[in-house]
Structures are given as C-alpha cells and as structure tokens.
Amino acid sequence: MKIAILGAGNLGLSIGKGLIMNNAYTSLYLTRRNTEDIQDYEDYSKVKVLSDNLEAVKNSDILIFAVQPTQLAGILEEIKDELSEKHVLISTVTGFKIPRMEKILEAEHFIIRAMPNTAIAVSKSMTCICSNEKGKKRIAIAEAIFNRLGTSIIIPENKMQAATVICASGVAFWMRLIRATTQGAVQLGFDAKDAQELSMQTCLGAASLLIESGRHPEEEIDKVTTPRGCTIEGLNEMEHNGLSSSLIKGIQASFKKINNISEN
C-alpha cells in the first residue's frame, strides 16, 4: 500500500509509527508544513518526509488526513484536482463530516472517516470507521490498515461523535484513572514506579479478562468482592463519592462539547 499521512502531528505520527512498526506499507509519505522535527523519520526504509502535499498525493493511493479540523478544508481544496479513482481518502479529523468533504471536493471519491486513538502508536487502537456510499467499496482497506494497528469496527457516521468521546478522549479518561490508582498505591507505601506498574498491569488484566471471557464487568466484580471484605468496602465508598456518576457525566460533557465543535 502506498500511503500518505497529510498532517504528521500528534495523531498522524502515531499512525505513522504504528505503520512503520508493522511494516504495513510499500511507501509512506509524511507531510507537514514545518518538517524539521520529523526529518528523522526518513531514516526508516521507504519513508519520505515533505511539506508538499501534492507530491505526496501523486505518489500515494491511500491518503490519511490528520490535520486540525480548521485545516482540513484548505488541504482538500489544495489537492482536489490531483485526486483520481486510485485514491482512497481516510480522514481522522474530529467532527468534519463526510457531506462537507464531498461538497469541497465537488466529485465522487472513496471517502472514509476513521477515529483511531493514540494507542495506535503501539498497535492497540480501538478505531471506529464509517464511509460514504462509494467508500463502502474500499472500506475493507481501512479495516485492514486499522486492524493491523489494533481493533476496528464499522459504525454509521451519526455515531462518530459518540465514538470519538468513548475511544479517542477515552484514552485520557483511562489514563486519569490509572494515575489516580497509582497515587492511591503510593499512599499505601509503594514507590511511584512500582505503584504505576501495579496500576497499569491491573488495568490491562481487568480489560483482558472481559475481552477473553466475553463476560459482563459485574460478573467479574462479584468474583472479587468477598462478603464484608475490603473490595466491596472500597467500591461502595467510591460509588458514594460518585465514581460511576462522575464518569458518565464527564462522557456527557465531552459529547456536548464535540457536537458544538463540529457545528462551528
């Protein structure tokens, strides 16, 4: 696959790193206007770093857009005359809907939206994918890319905002939970390094239990909560202080915000 990442910033570079680690391309173009900071990527085989989006588009089949929402319209305008039937457009841009892309491009193209998360840099992204009608014929390409970089599911476009909150912002939510449990462990006497290790691995183990067993979280909680034991004591105290409610309210607030961003 000849891939170009237009906008090799935080997310674009995370995708790039994942592709490089998986050797998942025949050529990889990384673009941004100031290329100085990412020039080192040319040390990797078949990777080219440049600021010329048109050259990247000409030499690639799969175009992954990872610029800020305010920057996408300009790039689409810039490249639209270079687009042909060989191109599959994959946008990771938050809140920029497919009909708006189609309007700018003024021609039918294979258009896919993908919402990965930053765990793509370690091939563990939960990526949600949707497409326009024409894009359905190429959606398997996007699935193939993102399944190498984690797990993907196809969803309708009207669920993309919700998916962004749960999966993309979700990385930040889970990080905060890991940090909080680390702080708790330090208070119980572990040094910071060990505390984080205990916290991270326990989080990974809990998620793996659910993924591998297919069971509901509450079933696993029942197995840990000894009657009158310490787990239920701690869990109930957390709930009295609004643990679940606080997480759900946070998710609602993010969702409200993302809907406002995309209207602007």
Chain residues binding ligand NDP by CB under 6 A are: 6-12, 31-34, 53, 66-69, 71, 74-75, 92-94, 115-118, 168
161 near ligand A1CAB (CB under 6 A): no
Q: 258 phi and psi, to 5 degrees?
A: -65, -35
Please state, in angstroms and as integers, the Cα–Cα distance from residue 119 to each residue in 12, 19, 127, 178, 219, following that order. Answer: 12, 12, 10, 15, 27
Residue 198 annotated as lining a ligand binding site: no
Residues forming beta bridges with residue 92, ordered by sequence position: none
125 near ligand A1CAB (CB under 6 A): no
Selected binder of ligand A1CAB within 91, 169, 182, 196 (CB under 6 A)? 169
Residue 8 annotated as lining a ligand binding site: yes
In the complex with ligand A1CAB, the residue whose CB is nearer, 60 or 169, is 169
In the complex with ligand A1CAB, the residue whose CB is nearer, 125 or 169, is 169
As given in the structure block, the two tokens for residue 79 are 């490249």
168 near ligand A1CAB (CB under 6 A): yes
Return the DSSP state at 156. Answer: -
Q: Which residues make Cβ contacts (< 8 Å) with residue 227, sequence separation at least 6? A: none
Side-by-side strand order, sheet with 150-154: 47-50, 27-31, 2-6, 62-65, 88-91, 110-115, 125-131, 150-154
Task: Look at the alpha carbons of 136, 138, 141, 146 in this order and tell me if their dihedral is positive or negative.
Answer: negative
Rounded CA separation 67/148 (Å): 22
Residue 93 annotated as lining a ligand binding site: no
Return the DSSP state at 122. Answer: G
In the complex with ligand A1CAB, the residue whose CB is nearer, 60 or 92, is 92
Rounded CA separation 53/79 (Å): 7
Residue 7 annotated as lining a ligand binding site: yes
Find which of ligand NDP, ligand A1CAB, none residue 130 binds, CB within 5 to 8 Å per kind: none
Selected binder of ligand A1CAB within 14, 91, 152, 164 (CB under 6 A)? 164
Selected binder of ligand A1CAB within 14, 60, 92, 94 (CB under 6 A)? 94
Identity of the residue numbered 52: D
* Coil, helix or strand at residue 61: coil
Which residue minimizes CB distance to ligand NDP? 9
Find which of ligand NDP, ligand A1CAB, none residue 246 binds, CB within 5 to 8 Å per kind: none
Find which of ligand NDP, ligand A1CAB, none residue 33 binds, CB within 5 to 8 Å per kind: ligand NDP
Find which of ligand NDP, ligand A1CAB, none residue 53 binds, CB within 5 to 8 Å per kind: ligand NDP
Q: Which residues are annotated as a binding site for NADPH?
A: 53
Query: Which chain residues interact with ligand A1CAB by CB under 6 A?
Result: 94, 164, 168-169
Q: Which residues are annotated as a binding site for NADP(+)?
A: 6-11, 66-69
